[in-house]
Amino acid sequence: MRTYSELIEVMTQQQRIKRSIVSKKVAKIAARKRAITAKKPPTKKKIDQAVQRQVRKKALTIVDKSHVYHSAAAATKAQIEKKATKLEKKKGKIWAKKLRPTIAQKMKDDFRKRTKMGKTPGQPKPTGFADESGESTSDED
């Protein structure tokens, strides 16, 4: 993926203005879609995608022992990715099987946290801060 400075060198002034306008329009649509998706529970497809991302991340971490991947040249990145792909093919299914339950549980917990927003049934609504003695400091008296 190109960096911002590389894009500026390639694009003309008019292209940059057009890209800015388009990205502003698309950003609102994307934000709305993200908000709608956040209200839905994680699907099997989303869980599988998250598992695949974690497997790939684990393979890259193991292969990139000197931690130079993000700042490496294109040839070095390609070499690291090639090794990671080979390792992922060899161990990917085993890692996916081990990672799936924890990732699925985390996604479900995050969904519950987003939708509940900290509410628990039967608990009184917090009205103020409690001091050390446990008494509320709100001004309801």
Domain chopping of the chain, boundaries: 1-39, 41-114
pLDDT at residue 1 above 70? no
**pLDDT exceeds 70 at position 38:** yes
For residue 29, pLDDT over 90 is answered with yes
Residue 126 has pLDDT above 70, yes or no: no
Half-sphere exposure of 100 (CA within 13 A, CB side): 11
Name every residue whose Cβ is closer than 8 Å to that of residue 113 and which is 6 or more positions away in sequence.
Answer: none
Q: What is the mean pLDDT of residues 31-36?
A: 93
Stronger pLDDT, 104 or 7, i.e. the higher one? 104
Does the predicted TM-score (pTM) go above 0.85? Answer: no
pLDDT at 67: 86
